[in-house]
């Protein structure tokens, strides 16, 4: 069981370049999330998707866009990368029944380590 | 503003020691509190706590929640070097960002042989 799969694992970009981080889950979860993790800052929510076809901003959305391509896949795009976006990015998913969250934890991918020069 | 505070931020112990990690929270519409362990990669789920006073156990790890005083502790007995990790505490809210978790900054535990 793969769970949550993120690609790539590592990436180095130059300032101004664009890039899409990919995330896929095989647990049939409705809700998916993108976080960034920086030293001393914990995990902060960038965007989330409660269900296929919907996306919403989290705590730190500026400089990012997302696409919920289908139930399995949720991508994060940096249109014009900036050094402040150097971070480790985690995708997560969670089960949901209708409009109610199921009492189960979020499951995380292994992360993408992104450096922007 | 909703917040989750973990203490200490880092801790160094020797194998065989017992450690207690703390997590306090101020969150509206509390639903549950979760503990995760993060080594090199993905945070992995340890416990979910929803009710006060009921201890959850898994091997040498245990956790309990106090909803009156708004905190939780994670205990690890007879620590091993494999317990070295960052331990994350997170709170789930009713009506939050559709199931988003509010995370603390983590406690970095280092267990020396």
DSSP letter (8 states) at residue A44: E
Q: Return the higher-pLDDT residue of A115 and A1.
A: A115
Q: What is the pLDDT of residues A33-78, one digit of tens each?
A: 999 999 878 899 999 998 888 999 998 999 999 999 899 999 999 9
Contact between A91 and A108 under an 8 Å Cβ cutoff? The reply is yes
Residue A85 has pLDDT above 80, yes or no: yes
Which residues in B lie closer than 8 A to residue A105 (C-beta atoms)? 34, 36, 45, 48
Residue B100 has pLDDT above 90, yes or no: no
Provide the pLDDT for residue B8: 96
Q: What's the average model confidence in pLDDT over A97-112? A: 78
Q: Strand B56-58: give its sheet, edge to edge.
A: B3-7, B19-26, B71-76, B61-66, B56-58
Torsional class of A5: left (φ above 0), alpha (ψ -120 to 50), beta (otherwise): beta
Q: Say which of B50, B99, B105 has its CB closest to residue A101.
A: B99
Which residues in B lie closer than 8 A to residue A44 (C-beta atoms)? 103
Residues 6+ apart with CB under 8 A from A17: A80, A81
Give the Å distances, CA to CA, from A6 to A3, A25, A111, A115. 10, 9, 6, 16
Q: Return the higher-pLDDT residue of A103 and A50.
A: A50
Q: What is the pLDDT of residues B11-65, one digit of tens each?
A: 999 999 999 999 999 998 888 999 999 998 899 999 999 989 889 999 999 999 9
Residue B68 has pLDDT above 70, yes or no: yes
Q: Please tell me which residue of chain A has the smallest CA distance to B90.
A: A43
Provide the pLDDT for residue A97: 61
User: How many Cα atoms occupy the beta-carbon half-sphere of B68 within 13 Å?
Assistant: 2
Return the ∠ at Cα B108 (arms to B102 and B113), rounded to 5°: 150
Q: What is the pLDDT of residues A2-42, one digit of tens each?
A: 799 999 999 999 999 999 999 999 999 888 999 999 987 88
Provide the pLDDT for residue A2: 73
Q: Please tell me which residue of chain B has the smallest CA distance to A45.
A: B100
Provide the pLDDT for residue B95: 67
Provide the pLDDT for residue A75: 97
Residue B93 has pLDDT above 90, yes or no: no
SS3 A74: strand
Q: Is A110 on the interface with B (CB under 8 A)?
A: yes
Q: What average pLDDT does the structure give for chain B?
A: 92
Q: Say which of B41, B98, B106 has its CB closest to residue A31.
A: B98
Taking an 8 Å Cβ-Cβ cutoff, which residues of chain B contact chain A? Answer: 31-32, 34, 36, 41-45, 48, 50, 88, 90, 92, 97-101, 103-106
DSSP B41-83: SSEEEEEEE-STT--EEETTEEEEEETTTTEEEEEE-S--GGG
Both tokens assigned to A67: 């696409």
The rounded distance, in Å, linking the Cα atoms of B33 and A111 is 23
Residue B97 has pLDDT above 60, yes or no: no
Residue B34 bridge partners (DSSP): B48, B90
Provide the pLDDT for residue B40: 82
Closest approach of A65 to chain B, Cα-based (Å): 17
């Amino acid at each position: 069981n793969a769970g949550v799969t993120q690609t790539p694992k590592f990436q180095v970009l130059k300032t101004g370049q664009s890039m899409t981080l990919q995330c896929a889950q095989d647990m049939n979860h409705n809700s998916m999330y993108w976080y960034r993790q920086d030293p001393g800052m914990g995990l902060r929510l960038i965007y989330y998707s409660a269900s296929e076809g919907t996306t919403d901003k989290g705590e730190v959305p500026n400089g990012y866009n997302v696409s919920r391509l289908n139930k399995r896949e949720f991508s994060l795009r940096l249109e014009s990368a900036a050094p402040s976006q150097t971070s480790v990015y985690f995708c997560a998913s969670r089960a949901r029944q209708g409009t109610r969250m199921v009492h189960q934890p979020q499951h995380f991918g292994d992360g993408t380590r992104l450096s922007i020069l | 503003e909703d917040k989750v505070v973990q203490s200490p931020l880092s801790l160094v112990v020797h194998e065989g020691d017992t450690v207690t990690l703390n997590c306090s929270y101020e969150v509206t519409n509390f639903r549950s509190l979760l503990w995760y362990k993060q080594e090199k990669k993905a945070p992995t789920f340890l416990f979910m706590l929803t009710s006060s006073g009921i201890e959850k156990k898994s091997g040498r790890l245990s956790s309990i929640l106090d909803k009156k005083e708004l905190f939780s502790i994670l205990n690890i007995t007879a620590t091993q070097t494999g317990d070295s990790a960052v331990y994350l505490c997170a709170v789930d809210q009713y009506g939050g960002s559709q199931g988003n978790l509010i995370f603390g900054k983590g406690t970095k535990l280092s267990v020396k042989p």
